Structure 1
Amino acid sequence: MVVLGSIDSMPGALSCGGDKEWPAMEQRQKMGALGGSEKRRGTGSFGSVYRGTMTNDGQEVIVAVKVLKLQQRGAYQSFVAECEALRCIRHRNLVKILTVCSSIDFTGLDFKALVFEYMPNGNLDEWLHNPLLEDGNRRVLNLSQRIDIAIDVACALEYLHHHKPVPIVHCDLKPSNILLDNEKVAHLGDFGLARFLHQDDTSLAEISSGWATRRGTIGYAAPEYGQGNEVSIHGDAYSYGILLLEMFTGKRPTDGEFVNDFNLHRYVELALRDQATCVVDQDLLSATEDGNKMTPMSDRITGIRMASIISIMKTGILCSKELPTDRMRISDAMKELLGIREKYHTDTHICED
């Protein structure tokens, strides 16, 4: 039998209180809940995420189950690191872990999984780059929604970077690791590469920083990581800056046009001089706030939107500067975005009156 207990039951984990006990689940039930590639919601370096169900107090609950590929080098360490990072953090913009599973599967091999609250709106990458639905309709995040998501992610990072007693660096910020709930509130997930800063406990320090050399994803990882430098909150700031630029241009940092020293940062930086409109995701200039196309859009509304987008892009540029110490701090970026959002809503309201 596979027991899905609270995260406090993991070896070495410290109780944080408030964790809910979930019932035991037999192996055949687990396989039934996860079985079939049609239930797979995503695949990463160390495992796959499935849409599953659990029964609690007679009610069926939809969950997301991350099953580790333990044969993959680094997967076990990723599992331990994620448990360590998630065990005591609580924030509205972080994924909520419900339980962990550490047992033996029906073939006699180790089985490890993490069970999270299910996010029905998928991840941000799907919304930005795969907007076409099965029924042929397009789903589009409007400007207000993108600003809200950007602020949500900044709030999550600020919480991690100021976490007590030990700050946490996410190390793998990218759109596919940002999940959206029913209201499209963003939740930062996948802490498999997370590191603790200034950790006094040697064993935990080895788990969090010495088990793998991988530090993020190509295009999003800070350039100093490629030189073997230690992780820092400045690395997350860089990834956040790239995320902002991607969200408002619609371009991935790994697009084929970005080669050598010409990257997404440079692309936007050059365009902001006199061609900002050319690099903006055109969906942001052609859709109403409810996602429907609006034709034509008044010049005044377009101007208000462009002013907000340019301000956001400038924030993205400041966060993704080459030198770590030159980058804008996440707390300052969040303040900038809060101000941009307030001004955008105020100006739009005045324009519509």
Structure 2
Amino acid sequence: MFPTHRPRRLRTSPQLRRMVRETVVTTHDLIYPLFAVPGSGVANEVKSMPGVYQLSVDKIVEEAKEVYDLGIPSIILFGIPDTKDEEATGAWHDCGIVQKAATAVKEAVPDLVVVADTCLCEYTSHGHCGYLEVGDLTGRVLNDPTLELLKKTAISQAQAGADIIAPSGMMDGFVQAIREALDEAGFQDTPIMSYAAKYASAYYGPFRDAADSTPQFGDRRTYQMDPGNSREALKEIELDIAEGADMLMVKPALAYMDIIWQVKQASNLPVAAYNVSGEYSMVKAAALNGWIDEERVVMETLTSFKRAGADLILTYHAKDAARWLKA
């Protein structure tokens, strides 16, 4: 009872506040997304994501060195190929853009952890995450044939040097299929970071500009989760754990912190939160208009992800956050 109890006593100075802080974000929590494109000397800014670029492999290597020097331990690679087809050839070909980028980064910065996004939407002519029925304009992906493409993609990414395989297509059984394929190919020690609870979200818009992956027709609601569901997320993570996932991801993060919390409570695996493109772009737009303090908003948001239970945060703010943390 007041006046015996005065919680403000522990808030009287910055030093004391830091001493009793319960949740702390560090650079070690961060994973920085990068978009690889063919060519040389290419750095195309994504108009809907200020400060984010599509980069050729040589520029990816430069960025990887900067990321590592900032103390960020990991990047995740997405690819935009020269050509697209129904077989998603660019996803699994040995000379695919992600494969080239992964090899180049591991040669230049061997201690940087390279995560490969293992999906097909950037590589298919229709923009969906797998095989479609001939003539189907609804976007209903054929699950089991798509698993075969994902297996080929995961193996080629591991062979190229990727340290972690991150399947994101939300196909039923994709973790088991990829785990078996990696093991048979001799990559038993390559972990899988599963996009275990990936929602059909409106927050992905700017990413589709960056990755050139907007579906040509239909949408992805037949395979990504309905935003109203939380019990389904727990079912998905239970299945992925049983199939051999090493880490679990919730995507998006900002509007799904309740899901991050539930996933953390329901499992003993590391949990990653993807601070997605729409979340990033909203903050950037407001900051560029002078409406918010960008640093404080970003750090408060990242802290909230950790407080909700995230062990790792994939974020386009990673480089800025690392600089602010150092300062």
* Structure with more relative contact order (C-alpha pairs < 8 Å, separation 6 or more): 2
Larger Rg: 1
Normalised to the residue count of structure 2, the TM-score between the two structures is 0.27
Normalised to the residue count of structure 1, the TM-score between the two structures is 0.26
